[in-house]
Structures are given as C-alpha cells and as structure tokens.
C-alpha cells in the first residue's frame, strides 16, 4: 500500500505517518526530514537548502524529486510507503507518477488532512521534536509520556524548528495555498483523494485514516 498524507504545515502528517509505520509496516518518506538531514551534513548544498527552508519557501522541485527517487527505488520501499510532505507542487506530482510507473508501484490513496489556520498556528508554535529520531511533540497536545524522554527512541534532547517562527509560518501557509493546494484537483480527478477532519484529536484522526485505508 502506497499513501500520500497531504495537508498544510502542522496538519499532523508526521504524527500520523509514524503511527501508520508502526501499525502497517510501511515506511515514512518525509522530504522535510530528508532535507533537514542534508542541511545537518554541513555541505554547500546543505547550507543553501537550509536558507530556503528557514525562510519558509520551497526547495527546488529538482532537488526534492532526486531525494525522493533514491528512496522510492530503495528496497525498504517495497512493502509500501507513506509520503509525507511530497508532492508539494504539480511538477512534483507528475514526477511522482512517472517514478512510480518506472518502479512498477501504484499510488493507492491520497489523504487530505483538513485543519483550519488558527489551529495550525497554535500547533506549529508549540511543536518540538526529538533530536535523534525526529518524533514530533507538542507542548500542550502531545507531550512525551515520561517527562523529557522521547517515547519512540528514549533520547532526552529536543529541538524547535527555525521555520516554526511566525514569519516563516506565514510564508509556508501562502506557499501551501499557492503551490500545493493546486495538486488537489489532480488527485481528485484520479478518484483517489479522501478528506479527513484533521481538527480532531490525534487518536480520532488515526481512526479516520484507518477507516479510509480499510475501504
Ligand atoms: P511541515 O511538515 O511542517 O509541512 P516539512 O518538514 O514537510 O514541514 O517541510 C519543511 C520545509 O522543507 C518546507 O517548508 C520546504 O522548505 C522543504 N520541503 C519539504 N518537502 C518539500 C517538497 N516536497 N518540495 C519542496 N520543498 C520541500
Ligand atoms: P505536520 O507533519 O503536518 O507538519 P506534525 O505531525 O508535526 O504536522 O504536527 C504539528 C504539531 O501539532 C505537533 O506539535 C504535533 O504534536 C501536534 N499535533 C499533531 N496532530 C494533532 C492533533 N490532531 N491535535 C492537536 N495537535 C496535534
Ligand atoms: Zn526520539
């Protein structure tokens, strides 16, 4: 099974992708995480990518497509993937179709997580994540169960994302509206788009996603 989790910044894509990995043995392919790993490498390319990401703009289609293709071609993708944060533009959606076809893979569902902007602002302002495994938490809605220790990997260090600052958040919402929302009709036309209520609490959102993929 190959899925796309689609939604604006802060919709809960990463949170739900981690749960789907656990429950279904799928692999989460999060372009944001992959790009952050590249920026951490300290390469020249990494520095240029970091400047773009911190501003809230999109990294070029060319770079992102290359990053994702390497992973889709990899052996761990064979049991199915959850695409989180990709595609984000029409050219990326088209490139995805072409690469899936090349690897004889099929896209089963695109799940749109709908959340209103006020709730997104609140979510991004309180978001932090595990420094080692990237698991995403929230100061109020999703704290680690044992204070200060990552539920997933047990690490003790957490980080806030530079692009969760208000200026970058405003830019990311505009980018979502202008460049990413236009891919919805693309998937609607293929008859594989499902909308879910991303405003619900985390467990309820998981139930809605499970209902969609059980259909
Ligand atoms: P969020 O989950 O909050 O939407 P991501 O971690 O997916 O954020 O993405 C963070 C940043 O990484 C984006 O604002 C953008 O700069 C870059 N990025 C991630 N995925 C893509 C993509 N598919 N195309 C272009 N840029 C991307
Ligand atoms: P995305 O990957 O779409 O940018 P995340 O999964 O990182 O979103 O979630 C953004 C923030 O909101 C995180 O701090 C996360 O813990 C929190 N969060 C995720 N889902 C919900 C939810 N259904 N209700 C409240 N907070 C949520
Ligand atoms: Zn962790």
Closest residue by Cα to residue 105 from 82, 85, 78, 83:
78
Whether the predicted pLDDT of 215 surpasses 90: no
Tokens of 75: 């052996």
Closest residue by Cα to residue 5 from 188, 215, 194:
194
For residue 103, report the phi and psi dihedrals to the nearest 5 degrees: -100, 10
Task: Report residue 74's pLDDT band, with 50, 70 and 90 as the boundaries.
Answer: confident
For residue 89, report the phi and psi dihedrals to the nearest 5 degrees: -145, 165
CA of 178 to the centre of ligand 3 (A): 33
CA of 62 to the centre of ligand 2 (A): 28
Q: What is the pTM of this model?
A: 0.95
Pairing of strands 193-197, 109-114: parallel
The sign of the dihedral angle between the CA atoms of 56, 57, 58, 60 is negative
- Ligand 1 contacts CB of residue 39 (under 6 A): no
pLDDT tens string 4-52:
999 999 999 999 999 999 999 999 999 999 999 999 888 999 999 999 9
Distance CA 85, CA 170 (A): 17
Catalytic-residue membership of 215: no
Tokens of 76: 């761990």
To which H or E segment does residue 127 belong?
A: strand 127-130
pLDDT tens string 100-157:
999 999 999 999 999 999 999 999 999 999 998 888 999 999 999 998 999 999 999 9
- Chain centroid to Cα 8, Å, comes to 9
Ligand number, closest to the Cα atom of 58: 1
Using alpha carbons only, what angle is made at residue 114 by residues 112 and 118, rounded to the nearest 5 degrees?
150
Tokens of 95: 């490139």
pLDDT tens string 81-101:
999 999 999 999 999 999 999
Ligand number, closest to the Cα atom of 152: 3
Q: Which pLDDT does position 183 carry in this prediction?
A: 98
- Ligand 2 contacts CB of residue 202 (under 6 A): yes
Nearest-Å Rg of the Cα atoms of the chain is 16
Answer whether 13's CB lies under 8 Å from 5's CB: yes
- Report the range of poorest mean pLDDT among 72-81, 82-91, 201-210: 72-81
CA-closest residue to ligand 1 atom 19: 32
Catalytic-residue membership of 161: yes
């Amino acid at each position: 099974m190959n899925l796309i989790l689609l939604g604006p910044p802060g919709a809960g894509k990463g949170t739900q992708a981690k749960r789907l990995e656990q429950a279904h043995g799928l692999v989460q392919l999060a372009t944001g995480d992959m790009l952050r790993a590249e920026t951490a490498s300290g390469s020249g390319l990494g520095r240029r990518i970091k400047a773009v990401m911190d501003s809230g703009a999109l990294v070029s289609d060319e770079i992102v497509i290359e990053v994702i293709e390497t992973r889709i071609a990899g052996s761990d993708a064979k049991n199915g993937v959850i695409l989180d944060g990709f595609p984000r533009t029409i050219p990326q959606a088209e490139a995805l179709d072409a690469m899936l076809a090349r690897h004889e893979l099929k896209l089963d569902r695109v799940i749109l997580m709908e959340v209103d902007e006020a709730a997104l602002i609140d979510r991004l302002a309180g978001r932090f994540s595990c420094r080692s495994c990237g698991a995403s938490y929230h100061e109020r809605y999703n704290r680690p169960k044992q204070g200060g220790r990552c539920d997933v990997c047990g690490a003790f260090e957490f980080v806030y994302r530079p692009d969760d600052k208000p200026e970058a958040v405003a830019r990311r919402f505009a980018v979502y509206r202008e460049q990413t929302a236009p891919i919805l009709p693309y998937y609607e036309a293929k008859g594989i788009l499902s909308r879910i209520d991303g405003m619900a609490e985390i467990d309820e959102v998981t139930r809605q996603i499970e209902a969609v993929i059980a259909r």
